Structure 1
Amino acid sequence: MALTISHTFIAVHDHDAALAFYRDALGLEVSKDVSYEGMRWVSLRPQAQPELEIVLEPPAADPNTSAADRAVLTDLLAKGLLRGVIFATDDCDATYERVAASGAEVVQEPMDQHYGVRDCAFRDPSGNLIRFTQAKQA
């Protein structure tokens, strides 16, 4: 049985601000932009992995979510406490420069980690932690 990841979801509070980060700063391509019942989902694809869809969704995308739960999720998102994503890059420093030039909030400048990667980190416009990692050459 062969398994691959086809979709991953990132909660965002403002899709247009998120698009400025994921599409414009990171260079991901929009594959779908869907609105339904007052909510919006935008799917993006990395050029190097066109089979993978990164879906930007509201923090409480299930219409059955209670108002109290929706408020908790929105609060957690605003505090940057929901999980983000780690992108692999072949040039951590160049990626850092490109993303930093977009005005994204820098969390960590590029640095070598003891576990064998060079990485850096940013917050997207919704507060999600987004890391970029490059395998160190042996």
Structure 2
Amino acid sequence: VFLRTGLGTFKPASIAGPAGQGMLIAFVVDALDDEYARIAAAGATVVTAPETEPWGERFCQFADPNGLVWQLVQWV
């Protein structure tokens, strides 16, 4: 569960501040381009459009409202 940063009801308050520094959440999918188009069309913030790495990883990245980056990955 990821809660909005700064949420007043979050306990303990000592960890209710900035979230996700250095964190990346990855989801493996079978049809990256289809999922990218669907999610981008729904209004998600695109961080990285689909790219293919030399070793065969195809990925794209989005950011949630808290700034957490999440990635879709397809192994080619």
TM-score of the aligned structures, taking structure 2 as reference length: 0.77
The offset of 1:126, in angstroms, is: 1.9
2:22 and 2:66 map into 1 onto residues whose CA distance is 10
Q: What is aligned with 1:135?
A: 75
TM-score of the aligned structures, taking structure 1 as reference length: 0.46
The unaligned stretches of length 5 or more in structure 2 are none
2:69 and 2:48 map into 1 onto residues whose CA distance is 10
2:23 and 2:3 map into 1 onto residues whose CA distance is 11
- Runs of 4+ aligned residues of structure 1 deviating over 6 Å after TM superposition are none
Alignment of 1:38-117 (within 5 A): 63=11, 65=12, 67=13, 69-70=14-15, 73-74=16-17, 76-77=18-19, 81=21, 83-117=23-57
The unaligned stretches of length 5 or more in structure 1 are 1-9, 15-37, 40-57
1:95 and 1:83 map into 2 onto residues whose CA distance is 22
Q: CA RMSD in A?
A: 2.4
Q: What is aligned with 1:123?
A: 63
- Tell me the matched-pair count: 74
Is 1:82–1:128's contact at 8 Å kept on the other side of the alignment?
A: no
Name the SS of the counterpart of 2:74 in structure 1: strand
1:84 and 1:123 map into 2 onto residues whose CA distance is 10
Q: Which protein is richer in helix relative to its size?
A: 1
Give the structure with higher Rg (CA). 1
